[in-house]
Amino acid sequence: MTKLSMPKIDRKLLSIKETVVKNLKKIVKSENVLDHEDQTRPFETDALTAYKQKPLVAVFPENTEQVSKILSYCNGERIKVVPRGAGTGLSGGALPLADSILLCLGKFNKILEIDYKNRCVTAQPGVTNLSITQAVEEKGFYYAPDPSSQIACSIGGNVAENSGGVHSLKYGTTTNNLLGVEVVFMDGTITKLGGKTYDSEGYDLLGLITGSEGLLCVITEVTVKILKKPQSVKAALIGFPTIEDGGNCVSDIIASGIIPAGMEMMDKALIHATDNFVKAGYPRDAEAMLIVELDGTDTEVTELIERVNEIAKKNNSSSIKISKNDKQRLKFWAGRKAAFPACGDMAPDYYCMDGTIPRGKLAQVLKEIGRLSKKYNLPVANAFHAGDGNLHPLIMYDANDKKALEKTEKFGADILKYCVKVGGVLTGEHGVGVEKRELMCEMFNNNDVQQQIKIKKALDISSLLNPGKVYPILRKCAEEGRVHVHRGKTKFSDIPRF
C-alpha cells in the first residue's frame, strides 16, 4: 500500500483533533461523532474499493440546521469536509481524506411528503432510490431512474452523481426527474432551489447542483417527480451471433423512431455469469444479448414489439423471447441488475468502468475493448445502457497481484480515452471522483478546467468541500492538449491503496 504523505495541515489537524471532536459534540449528539480508528474504518472507502483512507472524524447530523452549523464551523476553521451518502459510488467520490471531517447523511432517511396531486415526492437525501417507488407503487406510481444499486444507493447521492439506470433511455437520468432540492453551502447558508413546479425563474442552479459530486454543497432535501405506471409493459430478450450485430440493432431501433423504456446489452461472458447467478433464461449460445423493454398502451406495445422483432431479424438475431407476464419480465431484468455481483464467479475482483459514446459507434468501441483485453491480457465482461451509449465494461483482475491494479487502471483509462476519441465522454453516471480526475485533460484544456474551478470557488472560496475530487491535481491540461505527469508521480499516488 502506498504511504500517504501528510501535509502540514494534516499534522496540525491531528494535533487539534480533540478540539474538533469537542466542538462537533456541541452541535450533534456525542454518539453521532465517531473518531476512534475502529469506528471510522467502515467509512475508509466506497464501492470503488481500490483505495482507502480513514477520515479524521465521521459525524452524523440529524437535521439541516446541524449540517449548517457543522459547515459553518469547518469553514471558519478551514477544515475539509467530505459528504457521504450510502457509500455505493463507483468513482471514489465519497473517499475520505485523512485531514477531513466525513459528513455522513445516513440519518436523513425519511420520506417527508408524497404529493399525488402534483405527482412528486419530497425525501431526505439518505432515503434509498428504491424506497421512493415502494412508497408510491400501491397507488400505481413509480420513480423512473433505477440504478443497479437502487436497493442501497441514496437519492441524495443520485443527485450528486446524476445517476441513471436501465430506464434512463426514455425517462431520463436524475436531472430529468428532479424538481427541487434544499442545500447547504460551505459557509453554512441554507438555500432551496426549485420546488414542485417544473420551471423556476433565474439561473438553472438546480442543473448546476445535479452531478456536482459534492463539490458545491451538501444536499439535505430532494423533491422528485413520480410517474404513473403504464398500461402495458413487455420485454424482449434477443440473442445475436456477434457483438457487432447487437450493436447495429441498437442503432437501427433508435433510428427507426422507437424509444424503448429500457435497452440493455450484455456480451457472452456476462450472459453466462448472470444466467448462472439468477437463472433468467438467457440465450447462452449468443455472443451478445439485448433486453428491449417497451411500455405504453396494449396496442402500442404490441405494435412496437413486432417492429423490434423485424429490426432484430434484419440484424441476424439468433433468438427472441417475449415476456409473457410481469413476473417473467422482471426475471429478464433480474440478471441485468445482478451483473456486477455475478462477476464474482469470474475473478476475485473486477473494475467497473463508465463511459458514454454516440450510439452509432457502439460496435466500433466494443471491437476496440476486445483488442485492449488481449493487449493487457485481462478478461472483460461488457454491460451497456445500450440505448443511450453508456458503457460499463467490467475488467477482471486479482487484487492480490501487486501489479494487477495498475495494469487494470491503464486498461480502463485506454477505454475511456477511446470513448472520448470517438466523440463520447468520460462518464455517464458514476461521476469523475478520483477515478477519472487525471483523465479530465482528455476532454478539457486548461482554460476549460479553470472555468469550472472558478464556479466551485464562487460557492466554496477555500475549496474545503470534497477537495481532491474531479479536477486533476497530478497533471496539467495544456492548451495544445498535451498532458504530463507532475514530477513523475503515478496515478492517484496521493491516495493509499489496499
* 442-478: pLDDT as tens digits: 999 999 999 999 999 999 999 999 999 999 876 566 4
Beta strands in 87-146 (DSSP E): 100-104, 111-115, 120-123, 141-142
pLDDT band at 493 (very low <50, low <70, confident <90, very high): low
CA distances to 89, 292, 449 from 476, in Å: 26, 42, 10
The whole-angstrom separation of Cα 285 and Cα 301 is 28
The whole-angstrom separation of Cα 69 and Cα 183 is 13
The whole-angstrom separation of Cα 465 and Cα 75 is 9
Tell me the per-residue pLDDT of 65-123, one tens digit each, with 9 for 90 and over: 999 999 999 999 999 999 999 999 999 999 999 899 999 999 999 999 999 999 999 99
378-398: average pLDDT? 91
Is 323 within 8 Å of 235 (Cβ atoms)? yes
pLDDT recorded at residue 490: 42
Q: Residues with Cβ < 8 Å from 238, sequence gap 6 or more?
A: 246, 249, 289, 290, 291, 292, 308, 312, 317, 319, 320, 321
The whole-angstrom separation of Cα 195 and Cα 58 is 31
Is 79 within 8 Å of 464 (Cβ atoms)? yes
Half-sphere exposure of 317 (CA within 13 A, CB side): 20
Question: CA 281: distance to chain centroid?
Answer: 28
Express as a percent the part of the chain with pLDDT over 70. Answer: 92
Is 365 within 8 Å of 422 (Cβ atoms)? yes
Tell me the per-residue pLDDT of 469-491, one tens digit each, with 9 for 90 and over: 999 876 566 443 333 333 334 45
pLDDT recorded at residue 292: 97
Q: What grid cell was written down for 43?
A: 467509512
pLDDT recorded at residue 482: 37
pLDDT band at 387 (very low <50, low <70, confident <90, very high): confident
CA distances to 292, 305, 388 from 309, in Å: 10, 6, 20
Least confident of 49-58, 198-207, 348-357, 404-413: 198-207
Q: Indicate if the alpha-carbon torsion angle 293, 299, 300, 304 is positive or negative.
A: positive
Q: Residues with Cβ < 8 Å from 393, sequence gap 6 or more?
A: 352, 353, 369, 380, 381, 382, 383, 412, 415
Residue 238 has pLDDT above 60, yes or no: yes
pLDDT recorded at residue 369: 94
Which of residues 72 and 8 earns the better pLDDT score? 72
Residue type, 385: H
pLDDT recorded at residue 324: 94
pLDDT recorded at residue 247: 86
Residue 211 has pLDDT above 60, yes or no: yes
Is 95 within 8 Å of 466 (Cβ atoms)? no
The CB-based long-range contact list for 191-197 (8 Å cut-off, 24+ gap) reads 191/217, 192/221, 194/223, 195/223, 196/115, 196/118, 196/120, 196/223
pLDDT recorded at residue 123: 98
pLDDT recorded at residue 388: 85
Position of cell 477511446? 418
pLDDT recorded at residue 344: 80
pTM to 2 decimal places: 0.90
Is 428 within 8 Å of 390 (Cβ atoms)? yes
Residue 249 has pLDDT above 90, yes or no: yes
Residue 13 has pLDDT above 80, yes or no: no
Position of cell 455517464? 428
Mean pLDDT, the chain, integer: 90
Domains of the chain are: 8-104 (3.30.43.10), 111-228 (3.30.465.10), 232-342 (3.30.70.3450)
